[in-house]
A and B are shown apart, each in its own frame.
Chain A
Amino acid sequence: KQEVTQIPAALSVPEGENLVLNCSFTDSAIYNLQWFRQDPGKGLTSLLLIQSSQREQTSGRLNASLDKSSGRSTLYIAASQPGDSATYLCAVRRGSNYKLTFGKGTLLTVNP
């Protein structure tokens, strides 16, 4: 059974800092991995999708990497802003399945 873990559970940083969020998964037979942002009481906003054949994806100040063999992904946020404050979720899709398996998320607070 696929388990997804995100560390740390919470992170507080000053504005302007670069930061890294971590995601690990137990079954490396994934098809892809997706990072989401969730604001309190709101839906999930897709940030980046990395296919299993890719090593990284970039979108603006966000860069996600994937090391499938070790079961890890990182989300790098450059020059953090208060508007980046949210919960960041990672989710993996196993090759033969349709479903996404989610981690519990990292609650990020960026202080002005």
Chain B
Amino acid sequence: EPEVTQTPSHQVTQMGQEVILRCVPISNHLYFYWYRQILGQKVEFLVSFYNNEISEKSEIFDDQFSVERPDGSNFTLKIRSTKLEDSAMYFCASSATANTEAFFGQGTRLTVV
């Protein structure tokens, strides 16, 4: 069964460092998303991406964040200068269309120290 794959599963970084979280969405999907979940809190939307551009972003997704689809298979989230409060589980998701079922990856646990 097709699945969304995320790497790494766990990343520890020092405050102020740049991190890149990687995702391989389901191959025939056209819509891509990043969400995050701070420990004990709700899953929160960060950004959606379609047709090589951001289609929607939340207020969390400030200038420190960027997304890219560098080739036909990968979808990345970059955090330019990490803060302690960026520590969270980051989930990548994809869907075939804007209104169909979203499938999530297993997440990358980011710990900023």
A residues with a Cβ closer than 8 A to B are 31-32, 34, 36, 41-46, 49, 51, 89, 91, 93, 97-105
Contacts and interface: CB of A to CB of B under 8 A. Distances in A.
Nearest to A42: B106
Interface of B: 6, 31, 33, 35, 41-45, 48, 50, 55-56, 58, 91, 93, 98-107, 109
B107 A89 contact: no
Interface residues of A, dominant DSSP = strand
A51 B99 CA distance: 9
Contacts of A31: 99
B103 to A, nearest CB: 6
Given A99-B58, A102-B42, 8 more contacts: A34-B101, A42-B107, A49-B100, A98-B33, A98-B56, A99-B45, A102-B44, A103-B42
B58 A43 contact: no
B112 to A, nearest CB: 18
